[in-house]
Amino acid sequence: MSELVAIFFGMALVNNMVLVKFLGLCPFFGVSKNLSSAFSMGVAVLLVMLVASAVTWPLFHILLVPSGVEFMRTVIFILVIASLVQIIEMAIKRTNLTLYNALGIYLPLITTNCAVLGITFINIDNEYSFLGSIAAALGAGAGFTLVLVIMSGIRERLDLADTPKVFRGAPIAFIIAGLLGLAFLAFGGMVG
């Protein structure tokens, strides 16, 4: 159990997807301009990461490895993710329209989110157990959402501030991401 908690916090904070592993940057800069859309995107990503990990891990270990076709990993995983996103989108649309209106538009974007494909690779490369992969996916998604929410909060404030013209928009967002990354270094030692 403590191993799982360690993986969760490790993925969420110490090796944060966005700030340390550079995964999920496109939505990070595109969506993080206001808090509610940032939160919705984060939750959507968490959901997809969870399902994707739950499906790709068994697929890899029970199907690909015994057949000796590990090299098909990239093709299979991305196809799985693309399909999952479609299915999840349809499922949400049919069961909960309010949820769909909140999350739905972000879902197609998630297919090309490197963080989702990234976590499926990380689960394999770090040799996690099935439960470990789930913990990792939860952690990665939580960390992603956390950073997105913090970033959007900061950017909302920044809109009101007097940023130098050349820095407005993307440049200052990157610099803030860097500063956030510095701050997150403080989490080292939590997991040890």
Partner 1 sequence: MSSFVKNLTNGIVRSNPTFILLLGLCPTLAVSTSLDNAVGMTGAVLFVLLTANVIVSLLRRWIPNRVRIPTFIVIIATLVTIVDLALQGFAWSLSQSLGMYIPLIVVNCIILGRAEAFASRNNVRQSVADAIGMSIGFGVAILLISLVRQLLGTGSLEVFSIRLFSVPGLADNPASIFLLPMGAFFVIGILLALFRWMGVSECE
Partner 2 sequence: MARKRSAAYPIVFLTLVVLFSVVALTLVNEVTEERIAANKREAIKQMLAALFPEMADFTQDEESGLYSLFDASAVVTDEETGETSVLSGSLPIGYAFMTDGRGYGGKIGILVGLEVDRAVRGIRIISHQETPGLGAKITQLSFLDQFAGLSTGELAIRRDGGAVDAITGATISSRAVAEGVVQGIVDMTAALEAVGEEGP
Stretch that binds partner 2, among 10-18, 54-62, 85-93, 141-149 (CB under 8 A): 10-18
Candidates 42-50, 70-78, 138-146, 152-160; binding stretch for partner 2 (CB under 8 A): 70-78
According to the binding rule CB under 8 A, does residue 87 interact with partner 2?
Answer: no
- DSSP assigned state of 70: G
Nearer to partner 2, 10 or 27 (CB): 10
Q: Report the residue number, 67 or 98, with the smaller CB distance to partner 1.
A: 67
Among candidates 1, 28, 3, which has minimal Cα distance to 181?
A: 28
> Which listed option, partner 1, partner 2, none, makes contact with residue 29 (CB within 5 to 8 Å by class)?
partner 1
Q: Please, where are the H alpha helices in 96-165?
A: 97-103, 107-110, 114-125, 130-158
DSSP for 21-63, written as a single string: T--SHHHHHHHTTSHHHHHHHHHHHHHHHHHHHHHHHHIIIII
The footprint of partner 1 on this chain (CB under 8 A) covers a number of residues equal to 44
Write the CB contacts of 80 (distance below 8 Å, at least 6 apart in sequence): 52, 55, 56, 59
Residue found by looking up tokens 């998630």 in the block = 110
Of partner 1, partner 2, none, which one does residue 153 interact with (CB within 5 to 8 Å by kind)? none
Instruction: For residue 87, state whether it binds partner 1 (rule: CB under 8 A).
Output: no
The tokens for 144 are 């992603």
Which stretches of the chain bind partner 1, using CB under 8 A?
19-26, 29, 71-75, 78-79, 82, 111-114, 117-118, 121-122, 125, 164-175, 177-179, 181-182, 185
